[in-house]
Amino acid sequence: MTTLALTINGRAYGPMDVRDDLTMNDFLREYLGLTGTKFGCGAAQCLSCAVIVDNPDGTSVTRPTCVVMAVGFNGKAIRTVEGHAKDGELTALQKSFVSHFAFQCGYCTPGFLNEGQVLLERLAKKPVARADLENTITQALDGHLCRCTGYIKYHEAVRDVVLADPKRYLI
C-alpha cells in the first residue's frame, strides 16, 4: 500500500492508502466514480484514458491513465473531462465538439477534449501563425485514436474555436 494525495478538478483527494498496483484509470473510475475517463486499449496506444496534468510551472500536458499507477500521480494536480464545464456551462471547445458532431460513440471524446483544451491553453500563451495552425492541431491530436474515425471533425472543431478568437490564439 502507498499513500496517495492529489488534486482532481480543483478538489483535494486524500491522503489515502491505495494498492501499489492500482492503476490511475481504476482509481478514477472505480474508487471516485469519475467514469468520464475511459479505458480503451489498456496499452498506452489510444489515449482515450488521457487526463490533463497541470504542472507547477504553469504548463499542462496530457497523460494516459491506463498503464500508470495511481501513486504515479501522487502530489499532482489533474483535470478530467468532468472538470471542463462550469456550473453546467460547456466550454467553447465542448460546444464546438457538439456543433461539429465530432463524436459518434464518444468513447475517445474525453481524450480529444483534454488534448484540445491543453492546445488552446498553450496557444493562448504562445500563439501561432495562421499558416501553421493546421499542422499545430494535427500534431497536438496525433496519437488519439477514434474507432469511429471522427478525426477530421475533431480537427475542425478545434480549429473553429481558434478562428473564432484569432486575437487570442493567432499571431
| Comparison of 29 and 159: residue with beta carbon closer to ligand FES | 29
| Comparison of 150 and 169: residue with beta carbon closer to ligand FES | 150
Taking the complex as a whole, how short is the minimal distance between the CB of residue 110 and ligand FES, in angstroms? 10
| Comparison of 49 and 123: residue with beta carbon closer to ligand FES | 49
| Comparison of 36 and 40: residue with beta carbon closer to ligand FES | 40
| Comparison of 123 and 146: residue with beta carbon closer to ligand FES | 146
Residue whose grid cell is 501499489: 20
Taking the complex as a whole, how short is the minimal distance between the CB of residue 14 and ligand FES, in angstroms? 23
Taking the complex as a whole, how short is the minimal distance between the CB of residue 141 and ligand FES, in angstroms? 12
Residues 46, 58: Cα–Cα separation, whole Å: 26
What does the H/E/C string look like for the chain?
A: CEEEEEEECCEEEEEEEECCCCEHHHHHHHHCCCCCCCCCCCCCCCCCCCEEEECCCCCEEEECCCCCEHHHHCCCEEECHHHCCECCECCHHHHHHHHCCCCCCCCCHHHHHHHHHHHHHHHHHCCECHHHHHHHHHHHHCCCCCCCCCHHHHHHHHHHHHHHCHHHHEC
Binding site for ligand FES (CB under 6 A): 39-42, 44-49, 64, 66, 103-108, 146-148, 150
Is the Cα dihedral 93, 122, 46, 131 positive or negative?
Answer: positive
Taking the complex as a whole, how short is the minimal distance between the CB of residue 112 and ligand FES, in angstroms? 8
Taking the complex as a whole, how short is the minimal distance between the CB of residue 67 and ligand FES, in angstroms? 6
